[in-house]
Amino acid sequence: MRLRNIPIAKETVMTSPYCINDPNAYKGRWQEAFPLALPLSVEIGMGKGRFLMELAALHPENNYLGIERYSSVLLRALQKMEEFPLSNLKFICMDASDLTEVFDKNEVSRIYLNFSDPWPKERHAKRRLTSHQFFERYDRVLKEDGQVEFKTDNRDLFLFSAKEIPVAGWRLDAITYDLHHDEKMNEGNIMTEYEEKFSSKGNPIYKLVASR
Ligand code: SAM
């Protein structure tokens, strides 16, 4: 997903009205980053932003923040936002491991993790966005009734996540091993860029929803 050597990416991200460059300054007052004070949902590892743009357009009753670590990837989302601006969607270029420096307790209503990097080596397990270390971070920023939604085509990462989440003290509210053939869980599903790519190859898509 990382697109290398896009020299204008950093500068474009820094100067874009759709990006928040000093996210730590908004800790505890994220409502001020948007025209309307609405519940806040966050996608971590948003890539080129297709999922979040569609979601934000469909749900003007929420505010959305997309987090992406690489400016070269985020650039694609900014280009789309210039064509179809949405007042309830902003982006942050940061590593999600700093999540608790950016969001206060109870500040986030929902977290989306879509096709997160698998980090297959055991010694890198704590970098997986569904590791217990990341769920500890989610615990510190999510509202009491907040949920984490996770989709992937990576079976090993999904099986790891389904085991890891209860270890982190969370419960699985819903789980499917074939989202696109699960009538209930697929209702209103918005495809991400990766989801379209992998499901068109015939890969099943796995999804779970977790809460405390
Ligand atoms: N969610 C998109 C989709 O489903 O099409 C993109 C999936 S891509 C495999 C994973 C993305 O997550 C990459 O763009 C990567 O840079 C980003 N990412 C991975 N770990 C991250 C982290 N710790 N903080 C922020 N972004 C991260």
Which residues form ligand 1's pocket by a CB distance below 6 Å? 1, 44-47, 67-70, 73, 95-97, 114-117, 192-195
How far is Cα of residue 45 from the mean position of the Cα atoms in its chain? 5
What phi, psi does 21 have (nearest 5°)? -85, -20
Give the separation between CA 173 and CA 19, rounded to whole angstroms: 33
Minimum-distance ligand 1 atom for the alpha carbon of 46? 1
What phi, psi does 33 have (nearest 5°)? -80, -10
Q: What residue ranges do the domains of the chain occupy?
A: 37-211
> How many angstroms separate the alpha carbon of residue 35 from the centre of ligand 1?
27
What phi, psi does 15 have (nearest 5°)? -105, 0
Q: Are 128 and 116 in contact (CB under 8 A)?
A: yes
For position 5, what pLDDT does the model report? 58
| Residue of 2, 101, 116, 119 with the most ligand 1 atoms within 8 Å of its CB, for mutation | 116
Nearest CA to ligand 1 atom 6: 47
For position 6, what pLDDT does the model report? 74
Predicted confidence (pLDDT) per residue in 166-180, tens digit = 999 999 999 999 999
Predicted confidence (pLDDT) per residue in 3-30, tens digit = 455 778 888 999 999 999 999 999 999 9
Predicted confidence (pLDDT) per residue in 38-77, tens digit = 999 999 999 999 999 999 999 999 999 999 999 999 999 9
Whole-number Cα distances in Å, 136 to 100, 130, 139, 146, 166: 10, 10, 5, 14, 12
Whole-number Cα distances in Å, 52 to 141, 144, 165: 20, 23, 24
> How many angstroms separate the alpha carbon of residue 122 from the centre of ligand 1?
19
> How many angstroms separate the alpha carbon of residue 182 from the centre of ligand 1?
25
Helices 71-83 and 50-58 pack at an angle, to 10 degrees, of: 40
> How many angstroms separate the alpha carbon of residue 95 from the centre of ligand 1?
10
Minimal CA–CA distance to 88: which of 149, 14, 154, 18? 18
The pLDDT confidence band at residue 121, using thresholds 50, 70 and 90, is very high
Identify the CATH number of the domain defined by range 37-211. 3.40.50.150
The pLDDT confidence band at residue 154, using thresholds 50, 70 and 90, is very high
To the query of whether residue 182 is one of the catalytic residues in this protein, the response is no
